[in-house]
């Protein structure tokens, strides 16, 4: 069993992470902490294999826990789960050796993929004493990227995707909501969400959640200019 600690100050988010973790075989939640200081106390008292770590927390932020782990040579791996999407924090997290980085909000499929990849790599390392270059490349250094299928998921059509894409282009790279696309395209909100979720899943869109004072949260979409070329596979 891989021993896991969740470090998250938001009780609702911590609960989501806990419920997601319970769905994945091979992982055991052994501790939860709402601050970096509490997390350090737990690390000093028991063995933790993997930390699911938020960045924005009261007091010390999550990256300071990463610094502590590396400076004290703790053999504990970290997956960041945070709303922090700026490249400065992402680069620092990667330099400190995080094994994955999940930007809130995310779906269970992405969470599951991160844990499955970590579990596979951990199992491989535990079983091997000596490996060749091909095994090192494929299993540890740069795992083969998941192939992007050039077929739309069932229920989506090329014509409607084209209309959605044209509406996105009108936004001129500014963040936009589902409702704004609905106004341009003239299809239902539920149908529009399916297409936007598909574009998010293949990396063309990034999603940020904005919590208002009243009503449900608003999901703002933003074009990822480094991945927008992938749309040509589907139009």
User: Domain locations in the chain?
Assistant: 2-141, 158-233
- A 10 A CB-CB count for 128 gives 12
Omega before residue 202 within 30° of 0, cis: no
What pLDDT, on a 0 to 100 scale, did the predictor assign at position 146?
A: 45
Contacts of 186 (CB under 8 A, 6+ apart): none
Please measure the distance between the N-terminal and C-terminal CA atoms of the chain and give it in whole angstroms. Answer: 44
Which of 99, 39, 102 shows the shortest CA–CA distance to 72?
A: 39
73: left (phi over 0), alpha (psi -120 to 50) or beta: left
Report field, pTM of the whole predicted structure over 0.75: no
Please compute the mean of the pLDDT values over residues 17-24 and round it to a whole number. Answer: 94
User: Within the chain, how many helices (H) and strands (E) appear?
Assistant: 9, 7
Contacts of 177 (CB under 8 A, 6+ apart): 218, 219, 220, 221
What pLDDT, on a 0 to 100 scale, did the predictor assign at position 120?
A: 83
Percent of the chain scoring above 90 in pLDDT: 52
Which of 101, 29, 12, 31 shows the shortest CA–CA distance to 62?
A: 101
Is residue 139 pLDDT above 80, yes or no? no
Please compute the mean of the pLDDT values over residues 6-26 and round it to a whole number. Answer: 94
Residue appearing with tokens 């209309």: 163
Q: Give the architecture (CATH level 2) of 158-233.
A: Orthogonal Bundle (1.10)
What pLDDT, on a 0 to 100 scale, did the predictor assign at position 215?
A: 58
Q: Are strands 218-223 and 205-210 parallel, antiparallel or unpaired?
A: antiparallel
Worst-scoring range by mean pLDDT, 74-88, 119-133, 164-178? Answer: 119-133
The residue count of the chain comes to 235
More confident residue, 123 or 53: 53
Rounded-to-integer distance, Cα 65 and Cα 50, Å: 13
Is residue 225 pLDDT above 80, yes or no? no
Cβ proximity of 180 and 139 under 8 Å: no
Residue appearing with tokens 């319970």: 22
Domain 2-141: CATH superfamily, name plus number: Response regulator (3.40.50.2300)
Rounded-to-integer distance, Cα 134 and Cα 195, Å: 38
pLDDT tens, 88-124? 899 999 888 899 999 988 888 889 989 988 988 888 8
Locate 66 and state its tokens.
């990463």
What pLDDT, on a 0 to 100 scale, did the predictor assign at position 220?
A: 87
Omega before residue 10 within 30° of 0, cis: no
Q: Do domains 2-141 and 158-233 have the same CATH topology?
A: no
């Amino acid at each position: 069993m891989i021993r896991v600690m969740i470090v998250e100050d938001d009780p609702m988010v911590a609960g989501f992470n806990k419920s997601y973790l319970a769905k994945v075989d091979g992982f055991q939640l052994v501790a939860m902490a709402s601050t970096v200081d509490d997390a350090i106390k737990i690390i000093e008292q028991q063995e933790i294999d993997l930390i699911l770590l938020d960045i924005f927390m009261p007091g010390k932020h999550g990256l300071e826990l990463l610094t502590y782990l590396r400076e004290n040579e703790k053999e504990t791996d970290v997956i960041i789960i945070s709303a922090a999407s700026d490249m400065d924090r992402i680069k620092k997290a990667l330099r400190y050796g995080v094994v994955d980085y999940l930007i809130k909000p995310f779906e269970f499929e992405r969470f599951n993929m991160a844990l499955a990849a970590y579990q596979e790599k951990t199992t491989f390392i535990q079983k091997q004493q000596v490996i060749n270059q091909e095994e090192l490349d494929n299993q540890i250094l740069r795992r083969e990227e998941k192939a992007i299928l050039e077929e739309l998921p069932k229920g989506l059509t090329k014509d409607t995707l084209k209309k959605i894409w044209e509406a996105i282009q009108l936004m001129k790279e500014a963040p936009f909501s589902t409702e704004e696309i609905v106004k341009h395209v003239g299809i239902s909100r539920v149908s529009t969400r399916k297409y936007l979720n598909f574009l998010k899943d293949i990396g063309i869109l990034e999603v940020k959640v904005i919590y208002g004072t009243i009503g449900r949260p608003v999901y703002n979409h933003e074009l990822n200019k480094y991945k927008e070329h992938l749309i040509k596979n589907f139009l």
